[in-house]
Amino acid sequence: MREQRVRGGAGADDADTAGSGDVRLRLPSPDNIPRHVAIIMDGNGRWARERGLPRVAGHRSGMRTVRRIAMAAARIGVKVLTLYAFSTENWKRPKSEVDYLMKLPQEFLAIELEELIANNVRVRVMGSRQGLPGHTLAAVDEAVRRTADNTGLILNFALNYGSRAELVEAARELARRVKAGELDERAIDEQTIASCLSTADLPDPDLLIRTSGELRISNFMLWQLAYSELWFTDVYWPEFTERHFYDAICEYQRRVRRYGGL
């Protein structure tokens, strides 16, 4: 593994996560970087509550973590970073919190879009557009449009996303094709199903990271995670730094992926 010295720690712009002085950051080996890393960004509300802050303060701090981790992923050559930003189940939360979460894409992209463009990052979004406010859709659509020609890291936000709903839509599409005579039902295989998912043109995640100590995947990419390596940490998302991210990559590099073989 390589080492790089960084000034001010991984979260130098956030007093709650920043270190002081020089911090030695250990970078993973360049020989086995996962192509696709997926992250369930969890713990924003608990992070805020433990500090006597409103839950929205945790979401705002977590937004800054998104930028740091995206740049860390791009730095080591990760091709796709998928972030679980808002699930289909999150609509059950208090309206005030949901309204704030719907403003976050607009706020995040207003601040960070130019840096993402400068770093050749391509923004994508997967999930249902139904129910999303117009200002949310306008912000993400602009980011997708303005970064469409970028060739670096794909920063893929799962927004209003649920894997079971995704699989239902895939089944409906396959049924439609069979009914229309476009597809022989006997020809349906794993590749056919995968081609109907929102990740059809992306590799499956090699590594799933979940923060905050929860040990479940919460209706996230159920099909795509079939052979992903899983890495869990007790660290809340606002406190998750480049160091934690690279620790996860290094752990991934120590594992042997057999896909059912020997």
Q: Any idea what the CATH number is for the domain that residue 129 is in?
A: 3.40.1180.10
The pLDDT value given to residue 210: 98
Does 93 map to a domain? yes
The pLDDT value given to residue 223: 98
**Which of 42, 44, 160, 206 is flagged as catalytic?**
42
Strand order of the β-sheet with 122-126 is 122-126, 154-161, 80-87, 36-40, 207-210, 229-232
Task: Return d(Cα 92, Cα 139) in angstroms, integer.
Answer: 23
**Is 234 tagged catalytic?**
no
Q: How many domains does the chain have?
A: 1
Does 12 map to a domain? no
The pLDDT value given to residue 27: 87
Average pLDDT, the chain: 91
The pLDDT value given to residue 1: 42
Task: Return d(Cα 153, Cα 67) in angstroms, integer.
Answer: 12
Task: Return d(Cα 239, Cα 79) in angstroms, integer.
Answer: 24
**Which of 32, 90, 119, 219 is flagged as catalytic?**
90
With H, G, I as helix, E, B as strand and everything else as coil, classify residue 227: coil
In angstroms, how far apart are the furthest CA atoms of the chain? 66
The pLDDT value given to residue 206: 98
**Is 44 tagged catalytic?**
no
The H or E element that residue 122 is part of is strand 122-126
75 touches 120 (CB < 8 A): no
Does 219 map to a domain? yes
Does 79 map to a domain? yes
Does 129 map to a domain? yes
**What pTM, to 2 d.p., does this model score?**
0.90
Q: pLDDT below 70 — which residues of the chain?
A: 1-24
Does 187 map to a domain? no
Q: Which amino acid is at 233?
A: T
Task: Return d(Cα 173, Cα 167) in angstroms, integer.
Answer: 10
Backbone angles phi, psi at 40, to 5 degrees: -95, 110
The 3-class secondary structure across 159-187, one letter per residue, is: EEECHHHHHHHHHHHHHHHHHCCCCCHHH
Does 136 map to a domain? yes
Range of the domain at 62: 36-162+205-254
The pLDDT value given to residue 23: 52
